[in-house]
Structure formats: C-alpha cells, structure tokens
Amino acid sequence: MNENYRQTVLNLPPNPGAEILRYGWLKEDVVSLGQGEGCDPTPDFIVNAANKAMLEGKTHYGPVLGQPFLREEISQYYKRLMNVNLPANRVFVTASGTTAMHLALTSILDKGDEVVAITPIWKNLMGAVRLAQAEATQVPLKYENHSWSLDMDKLIDSCSSKTKAILIVTPSNPTGWVMSENEMRTLLDFTRKNNIWIVSDEVYNRSCYNVSHSPSFLQYAQDDDLLLTINSFSKSWAMTGWRLGWLTGPASAEAVIRDIALYDNMCPPTFTQYGGAKALSDGEDFIKQQMAGWKSNLDIITTRFEANDKIETYRPPSTFYSFFKVQGENNSLEFAKRLIDEQSLSLAPGVAFGNNVSEWMRLCFAVSEAKLNSALDKLEAAIK
C-alpha cells in the first residue's frame, strides 16, 4: 500500500516534537508549554484591519508574491528598523514563515544537493530540506559556560563542493543563540567566494531581551549576494494562526519564487495582508509590551531553575524558550511522556531539535504567569 506514495515522503524522519504534542492532546487538562506560541490573542488593531478588509470585499485572489502595499510596508519596516535599503521587488509575501522556507529551499535545491545546517534546529526545517530531496549535514553549536556558541571553522570545514546552502536560524529555536555581526560578515565573505546560498530564518529577530532586534544578514549583505531570509508575523505580533510571513532575496529571485509560489498556493490570503501591514506600521508598542511580559516570565524561570540543583540551564538572550536538562533524565522523549502521564504537563523533547541535545527539554514561556508557575510546579514535582 505504502509503496504507492513518494519514497521521499515515506523516508521522512519521525518528528518527536509533533509526536509529543499529539500524545498530550489525547489527555484532558494538560498544561502545554510544548508548542512555540504565546497564549495571548492577536491585538485588536491588527484584527480590525483584517476584519475591515474582509467587510470591504478584499476576499479575492491577489498577486502571487503578495499585495504591493504589504511588500512596500515590509521594505519600509527594514529601513526604519535597521536602515537597510531593501526594495519591494526583493520582498515576497508568503502564507507563513514555514511556506517561505519551502519556497526558499525549493528554489535552490536539486536532488542530492547538500545543506549544512547549524543545530539544534527547529525540526520542521530539516523536514523541508528532506522534502526538497537534499541531504543535511549538521554542525552543532557548542554549550559551554552556560551559553551556546558557533565554531566558525567547523562550519566552514563542513562545506564541500556539493554544498548548495547553509541553513541558519538566528535567533535560534530552541537555544536562543544569536549569530553575531562578525560571524555574519565572515560567513558572507566565505559564501560569496564559494557560490553558496545562505538561508537565514530570522523569525525571532524581534524577540531579544536587550536590543530591539538581533543582527540580520540583510544589514551586512550586498544586494546580489546569494541570501534568502525568512520572516513571519507569527511570533512578534501574536499571529500564529494567520499563516502570514515573508521571504527576501536578491532581485533575481523574484521571477523564480513567483513561479514556484504560483504552482504552490497561487497567492497568500488577501485580507490577512491588511492585518500584516497594520502590524508593521503600528505594532512597535505591542512588541515592547509583549517582550516585557516574556522578560518577567524569564525572570521567574531563572529564579526557580537556579534554585534547583537538578536543573542545568542558562538565560537565553532571545526567544521565548527555556532550554534545560534535568540530572538523571537522559532520554527526553521518555521524560516528555512521563511528564504528560504523571503531571499532565507537555514540554518539547530536545531530541526533536537534533541528536546532540537528546537529554534537553524545551519549555515555551510565552504564557500567563499563572500557567507558567503551574507548569514549573509540575516539573519540580516530577523531578524531586
């Protein structure tokens, strides 16, 4: 029976993160901090803009690469935020960051190509590489002195003549590691000389605790560099269910991405783009307010984890994830199941992000303080 389906799909590796989420959904009243999203709804000013668009009949097909006004708004957003000149013809609106990643990868990868990926990494991105029939080589970040760092020589040495792209998530899900400006410059220099693409997922670039945004490759790249960046409205503007994101590339990418997007989904949804434009033009106060709430939750976790000598962790500079390991719990999948069975608590197992972090766990703290404290009570009860 199965042989009727594509071998590439049948060979996709299991996704333990999705497995644990499904396992948790089977049980009632599970406190879930396993998925990467906040519990607050999208703010009204964004919802109202999309609602108005719908009532005005903005319910038809639109341009394949997004509404011109949103492409322009994204271009202006980069100018305001980072002083980057990115013309609207280099911005492609997509139906989610995930879709942007698929479009990016399928526009550059052929069967058998190699992608070098910095890990741990959000598993779905590795799935996207496999769906594009490419092979991924993992370069693990190093954990030392309570922080994660990249060995640049190792990353560069891992590239071969078959390497088509380097895949980077910065800030990183799950570690919160952020690639520095110097690292970006070094890597751009290397990829420019070797004709290798950089695919940079910058979905969490507004989720930093000490700065307004993390460094973006767009700040240091030349216009025609082989650079694709992925972004999304999901996290920074509480719009996970909207499925709206964007991709940037060199001007030459516009026609290529348009061709794939046309066959993939014809166009991103029309009325959601009005909400997206409003999020960018009027959303800075919301971002600040959301970050203040996440920071206060991070303070709570830090205090409680530091007081617990069974927990090894660090304070991430960005994202809304706490990544940690528990003494004696070496199998994160088993531990995640036990937490659901015994404590009705769902967390993401580290093994979902790479083999080198299979004892780690990820907890999303973009939730109410009460929910966070209840989850931490459950975790502490399970490991005492």
Interaction site with ligand PLP (CB under 6 A): 36, 96-98, 122, 169, 173, 201, 203, 232, 234, 240, 245
Q: How far is the CB of 55 from ligand PLP (least distance, A)?
A: 25
- Is the CB of 301 or the CB of 352 nearer to ligand PLP? 352
- Is the CB of 38 or the CB of 97 nearer to ligand PLP? 97
- Is the CB of 113 or the CB of 202 nearer to ligand PLP? 202
* Burial label, 275 (beta-carbon count in 10 A; 0-12, 13-18, 19+): buried
- Is the CB of 70 or the CB of 311 nearer to ligand PLP? 70
Q: How far is the CB of 117 from ligand PLP (least distance, A)?
A: 12
- Is the CB of 18 or the CB of 152 nearer to ligand PLP? 18
Q: How far is the CB of 96 from ligand PLP (least distance, A)?
A: 4
Cα–Cα distance, 214 to 284 (Å, whole number): 15
Q: How far is the CB of 72 from ligand PLP (least distance, A)?
A: 21
- Is the CB of 108 or the CB of 311 nearer to ligand PLP? 108
Cα–Cα distance, 313 to 323 (Å, whole number): 7
Query: Closest CB to ligand PLP belongs to which residue?
Result: 97
Q: How far is the CB of 341 from ligand PLP (least distance, A)?
A: 25
Q: How far is the CB of 169 from ligand PLP (least distance, A)?
A: 5
Cα–Cα distance, 103 to 284 (Å, whole number): 28
Q: How far is the CB of 308 from ligand PLP (least distance, A)?
A: 26
Closest CA to 251 of 225, 214, 270, 278: 225
Cα–Cα distance, 346 to 160 (Å, whole number): 40
- Is the CB of 62 or the CB of 268 nearer to ligand PLP? 268
Q: How far is the CB of 224 from ligand PLP (least distance, A)?
A: 25
- Is the CB of 94 or the CB of 343 nearer to ligand PLP? 94
Q: How far is the CB of 68 from ligand PLP (least distance, A)?
A: 21
> Is residue 105 within 8 Å of residue 126, measured between CB atoms?
no
- In SS3 terms, the chain reads as CHHHCCHHHHCCCCCHHHHHHHHHHCCCCCEECCCCCCCCCCCHHHHHHHHHHHHCCCCCCCCCCCCHHHHHHHHHHHHHHHCCCCCHHHEEEECCHHHHHHHHHHHHCCCCCEEEEEECCCHHHHHHHHHCCCEEEEEECEEECCEEECCHHHHHHCCCCCEEEEEEECCCCCCCCCCCHHHHHHHHHHHHHHCCEEEEECCCCCCECCCCCCCCHHHHCCCCCCEEEEEECCCCCCCHHHCCEEEECCCCHHHHHHHHHHHHCCCCCCCHHHHHHHHHHHCHHHHHHHHHHHHHHHHHHHHHHHCCCCEECCCCCECCEEEEEECCCCCHHHHHHHHHHHHCEECEEHHHHCHHHCCEEEEECCCCHHHHHHHHHHHHHHHC
Q: How far is the CB of 113 from ligand PLP (least distance, A)?
A: 21
Kindly report whether the peptide bond that precedes residue 120 is cis, defined as omega within 30 degrees of 0. yes
- Is the CB of 34 or the CB of 311 nearer to ligand PLP? 34
- Is the CB of 134 or the CB of 311 nearer to ligand PLP? 134
